[in-house]
Amino acid sequence: MLIKKGAEASLYLEEWHNRRVILKKRHSKKYRVPELDREIQVQRTKHEPLVIQRAKEAGVPTPVIFMVDLAEATIIMEYVEGKQVKQVLNDLPQEERINLCHYIGRLIGKLHGNGIIHGDLTTSNMILTPQNRVVFLDFGLSEQTSELEARGVDLHLMKRALMSTHYRYADECFRAIIEGYEGVVGERATREVLSKIVEIEKRGRYVSER
Amino acid sequence: MSRGYCLGIESTTDDFGVGIVSFHGEVLANVVSTYVPEKGGIHPREAARHHAIVAAKVLTEALERAGIRHEELDVIAFSQGPGMGPCLRTGATAARALASYLNIPLVGVNHLVAHIEIGKLTTNARDPVTLFVSGGNTIVSAFEAGRYRIFGETLDIAVGNCIDVFGREAGLRSEEGFPVAAMVEKLANSGRVLVLLPYVVKGMDLSFSGLLTAATHLLRDEKHGLEDMCFSVLEYVFSMLTEVTERALAHTEKTEVLLTGGNAASKRLQAKLEIMAEEHGAKFCVVPKEYATDNGAMIAWTGVLGYRHKMFLPIDKSFVRLKWRLDEVEIPWVENRYAD
């Protein structure tokens, strides 16, 4: 059963060896020439389960991977019960919203501390489970690097996602994320990444100096 | 609303344009004079000098084409930013002089907003995800809560800049009416073999500088034909643009895709976006060429929208804003459009 048709892939809820699983199938894009399309599909299908496993080792909840099929560009993984953070964040009472963001910040800190860059940090890629865990999804654009630049871009994307989708609370949410992040990676690394974010934002074509 | 006219002046970078638009959105004149550098990119001071020389002629021609006298104008709009300082100041000076001489209000227009508004006016798009591509900008935006929010943009150079620099490195020269990007595209049409380059999409943001460096190195190696190199560069950058636009479309769940800006003329980019939009059941709109590149009509039309909301700019506060971001501008007219 198709449960989500995303831009990059479709997610199907399936029964697989008596388990509820998610089958993630990457779309072939007709707008790309076949050679480029195939290259991108294989690369992302191969890469995603690897990083999902690394994230787990770093202590960040991610779905369990059951099977990978490169020819079909599909991944079969655990179905995670819960709601997208995107759906719940705006409606939470302020304190819970801050706590949730703080927790998300800690998880991002664990990823970055272990050289994992998510690459698409948005509130749609995080599931809040009934047990109040946050599970990170969609590592299709992730990278393994400990470069400051990459960490800066990753957090900059998180900030941008908050500003476009949760603009009313973007500032307080991002502040809480950074506090949580700092608790994991420490003050110095946080200060470095924050000044990197400022630099990245200034690099953007048109930014008023504040 | 009474019959009225707005005159808009555009002078952000290499184009000096004057447009005259009625309050009903009818474009009566749209005259542009483009500064063409002898070699290399645009030198801001040289471009500004060009604008100062042609200003009077372009203004007169626009009024003649519109068939109205300057006393009939109700408002003057100008491109207040973002852009190159000397160029913006030349247009701003002309706009201030006209507004104070005619004693009519002055409206400062954000150049990026103007590109979106003229796109909506000329294609009848109502609430699109807009991909704005030019030599200076690469932005994916959509309207949310009072502003055009930026969903994705380049983290370094603009896509038009990437193509232009690559083209110049390959020895191509722009000519009047035939820019380097068009030459790259013409060569790409005879390219067949895809050369591997870095494909850099980060969330909904893009990066072109690594791709440009890789492509220029490959040019120097001379292992691949120029046609194949042009083909590959365009396949990569346009696929990247289409992917982020698709992400924004899926994320916002809007039903229209609007392509605008100087690089909107690319048939290869249009084709990719059209395929993508169709897959999502969205309508694909592309701005007509004369309104895709920088022009005065888009400034005049956005001036009309600003005038309706009394967004007048006192002359002593009409300084130019070189780095004015799209998402800093309040857009009060969008919701009102649905109300009427």
CATH number, position A87: 1.10.510.10
Give this prediction's pTM. 0.83
- Residues 107-166, chain B, touching A (beta carbon < 8 A): 112, 136-138, 144-145, 149-151, 153-156, 158
Phi, psi for residue A185 in degrees, rounded to 5: -90, -10
Q: Give the domain range for residue A70.
A: 2-78
Single out the residue in A46, A78, A110 at which a domain terminates: A78
Q: Is residue B302 part of a domain?
A: yes
Do B263 and B158 share a domain, yes or no? yes
Do B314 and B325 share a domain, yes or no? yes
Is this complex's ipTM strictly greater than 0.95?
no
Do A53 and A125 share a domain, yes or no? no
Contact assignment for A208 to B324 by CB distance below 8 Å: yes
Do B259 and B301 share a domain, yes or no? no
* Tokens found for residue B250: 């899926």
Q: What is the pLDDT of residue A209?
A: 41
Q: How far apart are CA B223 and CA B35, in angstroms?
A: 35
Phi, psi for residue A131 in degrees, rounded to 5: -85, 10
Q: Is residue B122 part of a domain?
A: no
What CATH number did the domain enclosing B132 receive?
A: 3.30.420.40
Single out the residue in A78, A110, A137 at which a domain terminates: A78
Strand ranges across the sheet with B138-144: B147-153, B138-144, B129-133, B256-260, B283-286
Contact B6, B23 (CB under 8 A): yes
Contact B233, B211 (CB under 8 A): yes
Contact A36, A23 (CB under 8 A): no
Contact assignment for A206 to B323 by CB distance below 8 Å: yes
Q: How far apart are CA A107 and CA B276, in angstroms?
A: 34
Contact assignment for A205 to B251 by CB distance below 8 Å: no
Do B136 and B281 share a domain, yes or no? yes
What CATH number did the domain enclosing A13 receive?
A: 3.30.200.20
Contact B114, B43 (CB under 8 A): no
Element (DSSP H or E) covering residue A83: strand A83-84
* Tokens found for residue B44: 């801001």
Do A45 and A137 share a domain, yes or no? no
Please tell me which residue in A69, A91, A120, A171 is annotated as part of the active site.
Answer: A120
Task: With H, G, I as helix, E, B as strand and everything else as coil, classify residue A197.
Answer: helix
pLDDT, averaged across chain B: 93
* Tokens found for residue A52: 């999902």
Do B284 and B332 share a domain, yes or no? no
* Tokens found for residue B328: 């800093």
Residue type, A45: T
Single out the residue in A47, A78, A109 at which a domain terminates: A78
Show the low-confidence residues of chain A (pLDDT under 70).
203-210
Contact A166, A173 (CB under 8 A): yes
Q: How far apart are CA B54 and CA B68, in angstroms?
A: 20
Domain count, chain B: 2
Predicted confidence (pLDDT) at residue B1 exceeds the cutoff of 60: no
Q: Give the domain range for residue B94.
A: 5-115+292-339
Contact B141, B132 (CB under 8 A): yes
Predicted confidence (pLDDT) at residue B38 exceeds the cutoff of 80: no
Q: What is the pLDDT of residue B36?
A: 83
Give per-residue pLDDT as tens, A112-135. 999 999 998 999 899 999 999 999
